[in-house]
Amino acid sequence: YVNLHHIRLLSYTEPIVTCETGEIVGFEVLARWNHPLSGIIGPDVFIPVAEDIGLIGRLSEQVIGEALRDAAAWDPNIKISVNISPSQLTDGWLAQRIVRMLAETSFPAERLVVEITESSLFADIEFARSIVTSLKNQGIRLALDDFGTGFSSLSHLRSLPFDIIKIDRSFVTNVSSNQQPAAIVRAVLSLSSALHLPVIAEGVETENERAFLMREGCHEIQGYLIGRPQPIASYAN
Ligand code: C2E
Ligand code: CA
Ligand code: CA
């Protein structure tokens, strides 16, 4: 029996690098739960539960706070990306709480990227817009996560002031050998270049995928080819 109100999450991080040179430009923070019996459990399992019982806000803040504290002393060019789940975008205090965490950890707002999935914009776009505007006013940057998987990806790009597009892993997988994902990735890259938005491709697992993305002008990549999610301490320094 585990009392969910007492759980502590771990902050794992996955490197984000430039496609061309492999230089590390940032880390995405990914929550993990070290379950006393089952070991390390991924967010796909516990986040839906945490959302249901209203714990996602507190748990996410734990993870974000830990990452900001650890990364505050790192190279100032390294950005930290954090994930916000759909129910957090209905919390009117979210922006204030993130800003307070920045102040408490002395982490510059310009180095923080907040990733929002397309599916979270589905519920109440006007409310989401007010949160997003507060975050942007602080200098925080905004990424549209899982791009292409939602209902109306293009209208989301237009309606909110995103700074970065993240191409979903499902399009990156086999991009170098399958025509359909390749066509979609090309289309996203040409759209983003027309909009002057940088792109991060996620879930890059093979050198062929990396080479394809580089040829097509993708700026940054992440995935198992570059590095798996690790406890944040193992990337320090
Ligand atoms: P996401 O933001 O799309 O995160 C990327 C997921 O893809 C991560 O799974 C990562 O481990 C996995 N991944 C990265 N590279 C590769 C690859 O090359 N191959 C494969 N097969 N997988 C790869 P993870 O850590 O299980 O996270 C799942 C989702 O949970 C994330 O999707 C994110 O939306 C959410 N999440 C993670 N941490 C948090 C958090 O602290 N708060 C909230 N609200 N959501 C979180
Ligand atoms: Ca993400
Ligand atoms: Ca994603």
**CA 148 to ligand 2 center in whole angstroms:** 14
Helix (H, G, I), strand (E, B) or coil at 83: strand
> Tokens 């830990």 belong to which residue?
66
* Predicted TM-score (pTM) of this structure: 0.95
**CA 85 to ligand 2 center in whole angstroms:** 10
The string of pLDDT tens digits covering residues 90-129 is: 899 999 999 999 999 999 999 999 999 988 877 788 898 9
Q: What is the mean pLDDT of residues 130-154?
A: 90
- Please check whether residue 164 is in contact with residue 188, taking contact to mean a CB–CB distance below 8 angstroms: no
Question: Is the C-beta atom of 203 inside 6 A of ligand 1?
Answer: yes
**CA 54 to ligand 3 center in whole angstroms:** 23
Question: Is the C-beta atom of 229 inside 6 A of ligand 1?
Answer: yes
Please report the pLDDT score of residue 29 as a whole number: 97
Beta bridge partners of 230: 13
Phi, psi of 138 (to 5 degrees): -85, -10
Max CA separation in the chain (angstroms): 53
Higher pLDDT, 14 or 234: 14
CA nearest to 26, candidates 69, 84, 75, 99: 75
**Residue 10 structure tokens:** 């771990």
